[in-house]
A and B are shown apart, each in its own frame.
Chain A
Amino acid sequence: MTLTHPSAAADPLLYDFFGIDEAALSAVLSEAMGRGADYADLYFQQSRSSSITLEDGIISKASSSVDRGVGIRVVVGDQTGYAYSEDLDLDAMKGAARTAASIASGGGGVPPQGFSRGSGEDLYTVPEPWEGVATARKLPLLQEVERLARSLEPALTKVTVGWADADTRVLVVNSTGEALADYRPMAVLSVNVTAEKGQEVQSGRQSLAGRFGIEHYTPDRLRTLCQDAIDRTMILFEARRPPAGEMPVVLAAGASGILLHEAIGHGMEADCNRKGQSIFATMLDKKVAEDCVSIVDSALHPNERGAINFDDEGSRTERTELVENGILRSYLHDRISAKHYGLERSTGSGRRQSFRYPPIPRMRCTYMENGPHTRDEIIESVDRGIICETFTNGQVAIGAGDYTFYVKNGWLIEDGKITAPIKDVNIIGNGPDSLSKITMVANDLAIDTGGWTCGKDGQSVPVSQGMPTTLVSKMTVGGENA
């Protein structure tokens, strides 16, 4: 619990913060490379997180947690040895390094004796790290959200407000002699509401999440958060299931980026391509979509959940074009896959949940670029279909290419007009097939502000997604009475 805010000027690489020095780093890397290695890295991390719950009008619970340790990775070709130590004592770190080294079987490598400071972006500097924000300053935010929600909608019978913030500090040091340190803030404010009308009960939620400080939670944004949660919930009293079967699906601007995340994003992560598992493994440089389709995965959107100043193996981050004017351009690479494919460098996509896990290629902020159409043109073009507005989750099978996402709120489109509200339907499609069926893209790109988290291989990382209004000419919609 030695949680003092380090001065960036006095301790730019967080050596003092983690209680280490260059000699210790060399010694641990020397153990890691003791049986030979193409590459080795150390990932020091300390996270402090806290959460608060307001329920039934009372700030009823708070939690806080501290997690720290160092992950040690040894890479030989495509092979990885990995171990971590929660104890930053030199002997404990050397012990973990020897375990990681067991993947290799050759002679010893020579570790760097000194480290130079690598450079990263500056995407989420906050005026005040969360550890400096007293709990007493957070409570009024939760109370204001509850008051607002109840004042905006008298039919609400329950309002629960959840708060979570975290400060994470990382130091990545590798066998090429590079060292990079970062401070990564995160905050999520969410509101769950339940409303009753007669015998019927409906509930819904909304959240406002990103890498920012308390200054972001302005009265206007709190009001929008509450109004969104209420609108999503109250419309459920009128909403029905759409007819079952195939139909045109319009994806509203914003969170609809979930389509990209599932239909193409995961399949473009290079680990599953180097292993030949992805349906996209042989499609690079091929035409997979209409000219109006350009899909990007970028680390560079300031303050988004998916923003990273450098990735979790210390590589430069970037804006990666997955699809450019309909042509499949690049996978998302970590160091291992970049080397496998003979590339000069990765796309800065190596990410991990914590020091307990080795980095693997992951998405950051995935979205589609604006296209030539307008939202109205797209809706007018649909005879009979649906428009999807809010989502809860999605999934993909990357080999078969089948993917799904769950639509919480949407509307029927009949004769080119939005008519009745719909709710609670799953949509299923096949990645390459859906990409080829994107026929119209509007010019209203929005990045969603909800707190999206992506899971893969047992690791969760924060991500973002966005979309302009888009038409997919045919998808299979869960529903009733085909």
Chain B
Amino acid sequence: MRDELLKQAHQAVELGKRAGAEDVTAGVSWSRGLRFEWREGRLERVQESTSRRLGLAVYVDGRYSTCSTNDLDPKRLAAFAKEAVDLTRCLQADPYRKPTPPELYEGRSDVDLDLVDPALGDLSREQRIGWCREMDECASADDAVHTSECWVSDSHSVGARATSNGFEGVHEETGLWAFAEVSVKDGDKRPEEYDYAGGLHLASLPAPATIAQEALRKAKLRVGSQKIPSLRTKMIVDPHAGARFLGRIFGALSAGSVQQKRSYLAESLGQPIASPLLTLTDEPLLVRGMASQHYDGEGISSKRRSIVDAGVLQTFFVDTYYGRKLGWEPTTGSSSNVLFAHGERDLAAILASVQEGIYVTTWLGGNADMTTGDFSYGLRGFLVKGGEIAAPVSEMNVTGNYGEILMRLSEVGNDPVPWSSFRTPTLVFDDVQFSGS
């Protein structure tokens, strides 16, 4: 498959050149997925998918466009390439649109990232159903349970990329995930919680029953949740919830948002943007990492980079286009695996030491304006009193500004979720505004 797709990518580059493009980038991808959903003791849904796609980026007379199709019939590809070139000719010349400079392809790591597990190809229907059954039995064993649902899915994808200025590469990965959701009885309400786990390898999947147990445990803790009055207090963010909260600042770290004046961090390079406890590293070469890659979307060879060091901003995510517009050296257009410098303790120890606060387990809606850093999110979680989890809290918002709240980061845990590319440990922020009743 790898060789076949790479050959198709090279052929597509040729077709683009023949159609009149000066430079061409071609990507050909193939993916396969299978998902089994289970409910009330039997299969609810089986879903199989296999996709192929060809994408072409063409540069014609200083103009640029991208075209893609899932019709890979060789008889029609020449016409497809010609339409791509014709479309591009209609546009305006943009002096900043140029192919990736070949020197950025150099120095590509050849470390084995171990992203493919051939054993997933041998999984049987019985094995998948067995996992579903295991989760279902565990989730429905408790009288408190109102409904439960679970699924198991696995995937395999290969993407080949070639360009007219000398790049070629193939990225391949597999994945296996299990998910369980449980709702429990609570008067008129049916509070629901879920848990999931998995990774790129068979060995990444914990015993499925533990996933269902965790969903059930979390759902039972929601019973009797209530509104509490507005307050300012500490906010303890669960490792599962950290990525959604902190991941938003990456929108303000892209060169595109800086150049388009939509980043509150535009002037912050070399400046403190968070408390000294925050140290973030982008690590694309992590073995078995969820977002590991040898090269990025533009073919730039992947490198480990410091993003924030002891609270000080070290770099932006600079692709070649916005790099040219800003006169900045390109780095990479977006993050891969984001790793945190760890603290000393895990969630349980942190909760015990934080006497009072709100422990956030899940965000519900909300948004942020990355031009100003203003945010406001809905949440569910728990009131923490005397170092212990007290009442479950619902219908609460947290509101503030990223520029301010990151300075009030007062503790970083040592307990990130392994199956995430954004590996937040437990985080504690001081003096946060919550609105309730």
Contacts and interface: CB of A to CB of B under 8 A. Distances in A.
B90 A135 contact: yes
Given A64-B83, A203-B371, A356-B51, A399 B190 contact: yes
Interface in B48-77: 48-52, 64-71, 76
Nearest to A356: B49
B49 to A, nearest CB: 6
B261 interface: yes
A482 B46 contact: no
B210 interface: no
Contact of A203 (B39, B68, B70, B262): B262
Nearest to A66: B69
Interface string A383-426: 00000000011111111111111101000000000000001111
Contacts of B372: 201-202, 236, 424
A402 B371 contact: no
A400 B192 contact: yes
A168 to B, nearest CB: 14
A21 B198 CA distance: 44
B332 interface: no
Nearest to B33: A356
Nearest to A199: B267
Interface string A50-90: 10100110111111111111000000001111111110000
Interface in A141-183: 157-158, 160
| Size band of the interface chain B makes with A | 35 or more
Contact of A62 (B87, B395, B397): B87
B377 interface: yes
Contact of A102 (B46, B70, B399): B46
B357 to A, nearest CB: 16
Given A246-B437, A275-B149, A64 B84 contact: yes
A194 interface: yes
Contact of B434 (A2, A201, A244): A244
B385 interface: no
Contact of B91 (A61, A102, A276, A396): A61
Interface string B25-61: 0000000000000010011111111111000000000
A136 B51 CA distance: 32
Interface in A106-142: 134-136, 139
Given A66-B68, A428-B395, A478-B435, A81 B146 contact: no
A277 interface: yes
A355 B45 CA distance: 16
A84 B46 CA distance: 12
Contact of A60 (B76, B92, B183): B92
Nearest to B77: A1
A481 to B, nearest CB: 8
B67 A63 contact: yes
A378 interface: no
B314 interface: no
Contacts of B48: 82-83, 96, 99-100
A402 B395 contact: yes
Contact of B192 (A56, A68, A397, A476): A397
Interface stretch (B7-15, B223-231, B274-282): B223-231
A210 interface: no
A429 interface: yes
Contacts of B434: 244
Contacts of B395: 402, 428-430, 476
A279 B46 contact: no
Given A194-B260, A244-B230, A62 B65 contact: yes
A400 B397 CA distance: 16
Interface stretch (B99-107, B287-295, B340-348, B359-367): B359-367
Interface in B181-218: 183, 186, 188-192
Nearest to A245: B230
Given A277-B190, A279-B189, A423-B374, A65 B260 contact: no
B88 interface: yes
Contacts of A157: 261
A399 B183 contact: yes
Nearest to A84: B49
A275 B92 CA distance: 54
B190 A276 contact: yes
B399 A277 contact: no
Interface string B148-163: 0100000000000000
B399 A480 contact: yes
B188 to A, nearest CB: 7
A319 B188 CA distance: 29
A86 B435 contact: no
A79 B44 contact: yes
Interface in A173-219: 192, 194, 196, 201-203
A394 B68 CA distance: 31
Contacts of A1: 69, 71, 76, 79-80, 83
Interface string B302-333: 00000000000000000000000100000000
Interface string A232-274: 0000100001001110000000000000001000000000000
Contacts of B230: 244-245, 482
A277 B147 contact: yes
Interface of B: 39, 42-52, 64-71, 76, 79-80, 83-84, 87-88, 90-94, 96-97, 125, 146-147, 149, 183, 186, 188-192, 222, 225, 227, 229-231, 260-262, 325, 364-369, 371-372, 374-378, 380, 394-400, 433-437
8 contacts: A63-B67, A64-B83, A82-B46, A203-B369, A399-B192, A400-B186, A426-B367, A480-B400
The 7 closest A-B pairs by CB, nearest first: A244-B435, A404-B365, A478-B397, A482-B230, A395-B365, A404-B378, A399-B190
Interface of A: 1-2, 50, 52, 55-56, 58-69, 78-86, 96, 99-100, 102-103, 134-136, 139, 157-158, 160, 192, 194, 196, 201-203, 236, 241, 244-246, 262, 275-279, 281, 356, 358, 392-406, 408, 423-430, 432, 476-482
